[in-house]
Amino acid sequence: MSLKKRERRVQAGGRTEKLFPDIPLDQGLDLVISAKRSEGLRDRTLVDYRKHYGYFTKWIREKHPEAVYVGDITVAMLRDHISYMKYDHTRYDGHTNIPSEGQRVGLTDTTINIRLRTLKAIFNQMERDELIEDNPVAKVKLIRQDVDLTNCFTDDEVKAILAQPNQRDFVGFRDFVGIMLMLDSGMRISEMLSRRVPDIDFQTRFITMPGDSTKNRRPRLVPISGYTAKLLLQLIEENRKHFTTDRLFLSCYGDPVSANHFNKRLKYYGEKAGVTAKKMTAHVYRHSWAKSMVLNGADAFTVQKMGGWSDIRTMRRYIQMDTGDMRRSHDTHTPAARFMKKRT
């Protein structure tokens, strides 16, 4: 590994030399991964680091072959990459199982921002570790996004979805229980699928979430309704007939259900129910839970604690009110109503 000599001016007209190594693109990521692992980042996050950085470096090698080292990456290259992702990237391009022909061109703003956040985290770490002199992501901002007011299910849509799983079938009943648990607890899909029987206190109807299974590593207690508790007991009994594991959500072969597989099941039920205008992911169920809790009278701080958000500003993004919600809330709670003359 060679070292570049960089000159920096100091006070009193003196000069000092700062040495920065010429680190290849792939090796730069390895050093960042090592640092982040020592900080305790989850394996899933580190996998995302490799995936998103891999997309970027593959494009760099094709479009900017002159950039060999991490110190060669510039702001202009990053902005060029953003433009490529937004206007020229073909969805599923290079995928081994999904053909790219006929797919949409251009990634969504949400996907682009997810990848940009990863690149920012990687290059910020390189700057802290003094692997680069100039941080190219410092002047790059995330794409402005419109607030999505359709990221929650209506009551009619939920009823239609719940009618789809065949509850006489093991997989169908498991999926029904999972959907009800998400609607009742607001748990993230990874939190729900990692639950085991000892995590549930059926007397108090609380689910214990240890810190090692939550996104922000903070333990919490999640309350559930009596109906959901009954469904979980039935699922546990069904599992015990065929398997010895204490996991709650299993495949028909006894393997743990992955988040990707469960989201595919949710999409399948949404299509069967005719709900096509909204995304069919577990995250939308979490949005729906948070919004319904607030509309039904739960205070924001209680919802924040149950949902496991560190900052209430994060929770507020989940609760997007449409015009109907605002109209009903205004008509019910406006203080002007006390001073309006009632017609006789």
* pLDDT value of position 263: 94
64-84, pLDDT tens digit by residue? 999 999 999 999 999 999 999
State the pLDDT at residue 223: 92
Name which of 6-15, 72-81, 150-159, 275-284 the model is least confident about.
Answer: 6-15
Q: What percent of the chain has pLDDT over 70?
A: 81
Q: Is residue 261 part of a domain?
A: yes
> Which residue do the tokens 């948070």 mark?
290
With a pLDDT cut of 90, the percent of the chain lying above it is 56
- Averaged pLDDT for residues 225-236: 95
The stretch 222-239 carries a mean pLDDT of 94
- Residues 195, 94 within the same domain: no
User: Residue 302's pLDDT is what?
Assistant: 84
- Is the pLDDT at 62 greater than 90, yes or no? yes
262 vs 305 pLDDT, higher one: 262
Alpha-carbon distance 111 to 84, whole Å? 13
**pLDDT by residue (tens digit) across 256-281?**
999 999 999 999 999 999 998 788 89
What's the total number of domains in the chain?
2
User: What confidence tier does 47 reach under pLDDT thresholds 50, 70, 90?
Assistant: very high
**Domain presence at residue 328:** no
Q: What local confidence, expressed as pLDDT, does residue 344 receive?
A: 44
The whole-number pLDDT of residue 303 equals: 85
- Report the chain's mean pLDDT, rounded to a whole number: 85
Residue 44 has pLDDT above 90, yes or no: no
7: how many CB neighbours lie within 10 A of its CB? 9
Structure tokens at 189: 């899909």
Residue 301 belongs to a domain with what CATH number? 1.10.443.10
In a domain, 195, yes or no: yes
The reply to whether 110 and 207 lie within a common domain is: no
pLDDT digits (tens, 9 = 90+) for 77-134: 999 999 999 998 887 776 666 666 667 788 888 899 999 999 999 999 999 999 998 9
Q: Is 238 part of a structural domain of the chain?
A: yes
Same domain for 298 and 173, yes or no, is yes
Looking at the fold, whether 218 and 310 belong to one and the same domain comes out as: yes
Under the banding of pLDDT at 50, 70 and 90, the label for residue 228 is very high
Residue 332 within a domain: no
**Between residues 138 and 215, which one has the greater pLDDT?**
138
Q: Which residues of 267-296 are buried (b: 16+ CB within 10 A; e: fewer)?
A: eebbeebebeebebbbebbbbbbbbbbbee
Q: 230 with 273, same domain?
A: yes
Cα 78–Cα 80–Cα 86 angle in degrees, nearest 5 = 105
CATH number at residue 46: 1.10.150
Could you tell me if 189 and 293 lie in one domain?
yes
pLDDT of res. 146:
63
pLDDT at 167 (0 to 100): 94
pLDDT for res 185: 92
- What does the alpha-carbon distance between residue 236 and residue 230 come to, in Å, rounded to a whole number? 10
Which has more confidence, 53 or 108? 53
pLDDT digits (tens, 9 = 90+) for 317-338: 666 655 566 566 667 766 666 5
Domain hosting residue 43, numbered range: 3-128
Which residue in the block uniquely carries the two structure tokens 């607001």? 186
Q: Please indicate whether residue 127 or residue 314 has the higher confidence score (pLDDT).
A: 127
- pLDDT at position 9: 47
Contact 53, 78 (CB under 8 A): no
Nearest to 170 by CA among 247, 259, 234, 225: 234
Do 110 and 224 lie in a common domain?
no
pLDDT at position 218, please? Answer: 83
- My answer on whether 167 and 82 are in the same domain is no
Note whether 167 and 298 are same-domain residues: yes
CB neighbour burial string for 67-99, b if at least 16 within 10 angstroms, e if fewer = bebbbebeeebbeebbebbbeebeeeeeeeeee
121 and 12 fall within a common domain: yes
Q: What's the pTM? A: 0.71
Q: Is the pLDDT of residue 242 over 80?
A: yes
